[in-house]
Amino acid sequence: PITTAIPNPQSHSQSSNPQFPIPGLQLGHIFIGVQPARGYDLDPALNYHAPDLEPTHEYLAFYHWVRSHFKAQAIAHIGKHGNLEWLPGKGVALSETCYPEVALGALPHLYPFIVNDPGEGAQAKRRAQAVIVDHLTPPMTRAELYGALQQLEGLIDEYYEAQSLDPTRLKVISDRITTLVLQENLHQDLGLRSDNPNAIDHLQLKTFISEFITRADGYLCELKEAQIRDGLHIFGQCPQGRQLRDLIVAIARHPGKGRLGLTRSIAQHWQLDFDPLTANPADSLLTPSPHLPSTCRTIGDAIEHLEHHAANLIESLITSPTPHLPIPDLHWITTHLIPALQQTHQEITHFLHGLDGRYVPSGASGAPTRGRPEVLPTGRNFYSVDIRAIPTESAWDVGRKAAEALVEQYTQEHGEYPKTLALSIWGTSTMRTGGDDLAEALALLGVRPVWDGSARRVIDFEILPLSVLGRPRVDVTLRISGFFRDAFPNLIDLFGQAVKAIAALDEPANQNPLAAQVQQEIQTWQTAGLTQEQAERRSHYRIFGSKPGAYGAGLQGLIESQNWTDDQDLARAYMNWSSYAYTGQGEARTDPEAFKQRLQQLQVVLHNQDNREHDLLDSDDYYQFQGGLTAAVRSLTGTNPTTYFGDHSLPENPKIRKLQQEIAKVYRSRVVNPKWIAGVMRHGYKGAFELAATVDYLFAYDATTHCVEDHMYQGIAQAYLFDSQVQEFVQQKNPWALRDMAERLLEANQRGLWQDVSEKVLDELRAIALQAEATIEDSTANSIH
């Protein structure tokens, strides 16, 4: 099959030598190599139509050399994740013709893997016989406010103070707030828009200030309390100092068995009358407390004080092992959480045990800052879930709440109930949460899982009557990932059966759009020449994914190679990689027509995120799945669908935001936050890579969804490239990243994504790209000589 895709291996080799080069360093009995590329770089057109592309000759030669010439006794893949476990072939129980097996063979395989990613780790276990050695997440911290955001918070406090003490100052303060808001484009974050860019200036000041402060107070609190990463995790090392303190607070904040959660516990101890995890931070603080300063106006102000007090308590616990424990949760933190984190050195210990052929102990997996502290200590061979218990009852509770929040928001925005929605579902988040996403899809349909009495496994579903549901049903289409397809055939079957059951109901069309659409399509497909059976089967398709044995959504290669022109190119790749219909019982059929039919009807494109240990600008998967789906809908209908992003990081209070709002929140809280930038700058080459990756993912989200504002490109240019300290860091540690960031921003302008930019800024970016290229050439020449 490889010679069919690449007939002449020598013509594609990067060397004129008839032998294949093996890039890497040999240090005695250790060889350190770079995993070969997947092969799409050889012919960019393959991105459009080859989701199951075979690995190249160079790829197989690399692993053959490792096994047969270097004669490695074990192999370790470092960095989540590689491409070996995603090569074409069976999903599990691989044969000798499946490419992961062809490449790796029976070689013992160790794989350090982040503890919060059970799905992709399970993929390495299932398809590359990996022994996982899990490691801790990066240290988490509060984003806090900085720069203009901090200045705005002070002005709002000053405004409220002047209302009661000196109203004559209100006009001056209002003018300063207005100027700052417009200067920082915060009115766009909060939905205060106008077709005329200057129209905001001419709004009645009193109305503008009243509306803005109402929204801004809550928004600034949300940004301030957002969780972001403070640098990267170093394998085998427990965070120290402030990083350890903040990570402990992030983990302990969530409730658990016999625990309220740290900030809840403090709030109860102080007899506060709100829940810090679920209360609206913009609401006024109605009941004063002797534990809070008199300047606390809102619940958000009180939450900030709770967070500071929690941090101080943890700091004292770290420095003094046996303090007075006035808060019940502190005992658990002292006896369980801190000792577990202090065993992070086991990551290296157990990695060496594995290389020595000894046992690596097993352990649970999940996101420690989303109520899963039992995944600690790390350094274990993690396992995932019992797929028969998904969705769990707790996941159903989250999914049900999320579904109702989405319906409510859409109805408020559009004045009608949503009829059609598409949701991307990934296997790894399903394992991590117990099935939040699928539960939400079922809840939107108006279907509830049924669990057995003792094992709490899902054995059936029940249809909720419209009288109980209290709203119309939503016609839901799923775009499943390749790993979800492999790992959860039972859930594909469950959802498929639920779709058939809802479609068979005799309900009004405005209450059951799925049934109405199915009946209409049966007639349409029969008129087109299909049999009754074929028409019924096609009209029920609501689960789509990539070709069996293939993975991904097809956009990464196009974006990276710049091998696209417009929406049609992006949409074509996405649809080619996504048009297999799955119906349960392992059945998959390629049906581009049916997939296009679903896309043309979509009103809403939704993607969810279940924790804050990463965000949507941390990975290409987010823009490939949600962005690809959005671009496909836009290419067929001419307009963007309503794009939502679900935040399930607090299971007690799932939130729904417009995608533009989520991108704005991530941009403000992490992307240009000096606290995050300083964190990655502690990590040299990899830290610079993190900056460049963020630029790439922001650009790709804009290319696919058109949801990125011009000022964000300007802000990134200022924070990453025009800031002398940051530019010098990237230039020294990773000039490739500096060149790539400058070129990506220039590409955004060339493609019309970044329009409001001066020629002076573009010239500066060109100069930076040329300077970085010169540095790269000099370093290459020096390394040769």
Q: What is the mean pLDDT of the chain?
A: 92
Residue 207 is predicted with a pLDDT of 60
Q: Say which residue, 193 or 569, is predicted with more confidence.
A: 569
Residue 563 lies in a domain: yes
Asked if 506 and 570 sit in the same domain, the reply is yes
Across 33-38, average pLDDT: 91
Question: Sheet of 655-658: strands edge to edge?
Answer: 587-590, 580-584, 543-545, 475-480, 420-425, 604-609, 642-647, 655-658
- Distance of alpha carbon 192 from alpha carbon 208, whole angstroms: 9
Residue 324 is predicted with a pLDDT of 63
Across 345-349, average pLDDT: 98
Residue 195 is predicted with a pLDDT of 45
40-70 burial code (b ≥16 CB/10 A, e <16): bebeeebbbebbbbbbbbbbbbbbbbbbeeb
Asked if 641 and 677 sit in the same domain, the reply is no
Across 727-747, average pLDDT: 98
Residue 326 is predicted with a pLDDT of 76
Domain that holds residue 776: 672-784
Provide the CA 734 distance to its chain's centre, in angstroms. Answer: 25
How many domains does one find in the chain?
A: 5
Asked if 525 and 657 sit in the same domain, the reply is yes
Boundary of a domain, candidates 39, 57, 75: 57
The model's pLDDT over 451-497, given as tens digits with 9 standing for 90+, comes to 998 888 999 999 999 999 999 999 999 999 999 999 999 999 999 99
Asked if 485 and 606 sit in the same domain, the reply is yes
With bands split at pLDDT 50, 70 and 90, how would you rate the model's confidence at 197? very low
Residue 69 lies in a domain: no
Across 640-666, average pLDDT: 96
Q: Are strands 140-142 and 227-229 parallel, antiparallel or unpaired?
A: antiparallel
Residue 364 lies in a domain: no
Asked if 219 and 275 sit in the same domain, the reply is no
Asked if 546 and 607 sit in the same domain, the reply is yes
The CA-atom distances, in angstroms, between 232 and each of 77, 120, 228, 546, 780 are 18, 19, 11, 33, 28
With bands split at pLDDT 50, 70 and 90, how would you rate the model's confidence at 204? very low
Residue 400 is predicted with a pLDDT of 98
126-150 burial code (b ≥16 CB/10 A, e <16): bbbbbbbbbbbbbbbbbbbbbeebe
Q: Residue 490 is encoded by which pair of tokens?
A: 């039972």
The model's pLDDT over 38-88, given as tens digits with 9 standing for 90+, comes to 887 776 666 655 678 889 999 999 999 999 999 999 999 998 889 999 999
- Distance of alpha carbon 376 from alpha carbon 360, whole angstroms: 15
With bands split at pLDDT 50, 70 and 90, how would you rate the model's confidence at 196? very low
Asked if 685 and 598 sit in the same domain, the reply is no
Long-range contacts of 743-752 (CB under 8 A, 24+ apart): 743/769, 744/692, 744/695, 744/696, 744/699, 745/695, 745/699, 745/713, 745/716, 745/717, 745/721, 747/562, 747/699, 748/699, 748/702, 748/713, 749/713, 751/703
With bands split at pLDDT 50, 70 and 90, how would you rate the model's confidence at 15? low
Mean pLDDT check: name the lowest of 45-59, 216-230, 674-688: 45-59
752-780 burial code (b ≥16 CB/10 A, e <16): ebbeebeeebbeebeebbebbbebeeeee
Long-range contacts of 320-327 (CB under 8 A, 24+ apart): 326/269, 327/262, 327/265, 327/266, 327/269
Asked if 338 and 440 sit in the same domain, the reply is no
- Calculate what percentage of the chain has a pLDDT beyond 90: 82
* AA identity, residue 268: Q
Residue 205 is predicted with a pLDDT of 44
Residue 202 is predicted with a pLDDT of 39
Asked if 476 and 602 sit in the same domain, the reply is yes
Asked if 246 and 310 sit in the same domain, the reply is yes
Residue 399 lies in a domain: yes
Asked if 155 and 290 sit in the same domain, the reply is no
Residue 62 lies in a domain: no
Quote the strand ranges of 53-209, DSSP E: 75-76, 109-114, 130-135, 140-142
Mean pLDDT check: name the lowest of 192-196, 259-263, 357-361: 192-196
Asked if 680 and 631 sit in the same domain, the reply is no
